């Protein structure tokens, strides 16, 4: 088991995938996450030493807490949380009325929500760690 474990949300593409690969090179065991890209996540986990893949919809509070529990169960701890997950919703300029408050909530609240809901769940499960780090992209 690695000394440090990092959970990177939205880590199957783009900034999240690059962050996961960098943390793995730096000696972290990485817990990869996505909402839909399970095949990509499982392939990445197989390529990165000590990595795991977990699928969850972060818009669902129970699924978010289940994600942390699964990471802690698999790795035995959680030290770093990178809040990278987000959702892009394409709205044609000709139809800006489609940008309803519900659409804005889905795009903005979901990326901001995880740190508040995950860290309290994982805090008691860091036995060899003096502190934790959470960052957002």
Q: What is the CATH number of the domain that holds 127?
A: 3.40.50.720
Looking at the chain, which runs of residues are DSSP E strands? 5-8, 29-34, 52-55, 80-83, 133-136
In the chain, what is the greatest distance between 2 CA atoms, to the nearest angstrom? 54
CA dist., res. 37 & res. 109, Å (int): 21
Going by pLDDT thresholds of 50, 70 and 90, the confidence category of residue 102 is confident
Q: Edge-to-edge, what's the strand order for the sheet holding 133-136?
A: 52-55, 29-34, 5-8, 80-83, 133-136
pTM score of the predicted model: 0.75
Q: Each residue of 9-68: pLDDT tens digit?
A: 999 999 999 999 999 999 999 999 999 999 999 999 999 999 999 999 887 888 989 999
Domain holding 100, by residue range, is 5-136
CA dist., res. 132 & res. 125, Å (int): 11
Q: What is the DSSP letter of 97?
A: G
What is the number of domains present in the chain? 1
Q: Residue 136 in contact with residue 116, Cβ under 8 Å?
A: no
Phi, then psi, of 31 in degrees rounded to 5: -105, 110
Instruction: Tell me what pLDDT residue 93 has.
Output: 87
Q: Residue 68 in contact with residue 11, Cβ under 8 Å?
A: no
């Amino acid at each position: 088991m690695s000394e440090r474990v990092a959970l990177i949300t939205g880590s199957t593409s783009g900034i999240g995938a690059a962050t996961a690969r960098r943390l793995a090179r730096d000696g972290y065991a990485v817990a990869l996450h996505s909402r839909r890209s399970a095949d990509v996540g499982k392939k990445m986990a197989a390529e990165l030493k000590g990595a795991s893949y977990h699928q969850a919809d972060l818009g669902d509070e129970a699924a978010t807490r289940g994600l942390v529990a699964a990471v802690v169960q698999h790795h035995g701890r959680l030290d770093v949380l990178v809040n990278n997950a987000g959702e892009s919703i394409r709205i044609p300029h000709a139809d800006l009325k489609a940008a309803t408050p519900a659409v804005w909530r889905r795009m903005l609240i979901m990326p901001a929500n995880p740190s508040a809901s995950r860290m309290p769940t994982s805090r008691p499960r860091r036995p060899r760690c003096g502190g934790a780090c959470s960052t957002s992209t």
